[in-house]
Amino acid sequence: MDWSSTLLQVIDLRSFSSVWYWMAVAVVWSSVSHFVLGIPYDLIQRAKRHGGQGLIDLEDVVRVNVNRFMHIGETAGLFLASFATFLLTGLLVLGFFYWIELAQAIFLLAFPLSIVGMVTLSTARKISVSDPKGEDLFGVLHRHRLITQSIGMCALFVTAMFGMYENLDVARHLIQ
């Protein structure tokens, strides 16, 4: 038994046929939809159900995270946007012009995440300006989670369809 060939079979570098890639996609989108502005959704639900100190704690955590996002956006926003655009463009060219499967897989994961990042910054800015409390805050956070989950569902659908196409295309070339 050759350990290197066994290891390469377990860790398949072809992204769309690798169980590791799909596990990573599931974990990423599960985490992104669970954390709303960096706040666990169960904390939001508990504050909504019980109010009192839970609501005060939620409002404090939201204020801290919103201030953090606003500070990052104001100090490094232009640099981060430029760097993310550079990386996404590089992945797009490598993946869909030079047809490198790993770049396609990373692009199909990173591009929707960049959209979620922009939505998160927009929601943080909205909260910073309007400073909602109580039910209004729950509405803003719920709307943000719904948008994030919608982006995730679309991204998962597109990634799964493209991944199936790639796997069928590879199988077609192997048969010929």
The H or E element spanning position 137 is: helix 135-175
Q: Please name every residue paired with 39 in a beta bridge, in sequence order, or none if there are none.
A: 36
CB 64 within 8 A of CB 37: no
Rounded to a whole number of angstroms, the CA Rg of the chain reads: 20
pLDDT tens digits in sequence order for the chain, 176 residues long:
577 776 666 665 578 888 889 999 999 999 999 999 999 999 999 999 988 899 999 999 999 999 999 999 999 999 999 999 999 999 999 999 999 999 999 999 999 999 999 999 999 999 999 999 989 999 999 999 999 999 999 999 999 999 999 888 877 777 87
pTM to 2 decimal places: 0.88
Quote the pLDDT of residue 22.
93
Question: Is residue 51 classed as helix, strand or coil in its secondary structure?
Answer: coil
Spatial CB neighbours of 80, under 8 Å, sequence gap ≥ 6: 72
Place of tokens 């956070």: 141
CB 121 within 8 A of CB 81: no
CB 28 within 8 A of CB 148: no
The full set of domain ranges for the chain reads 16-170
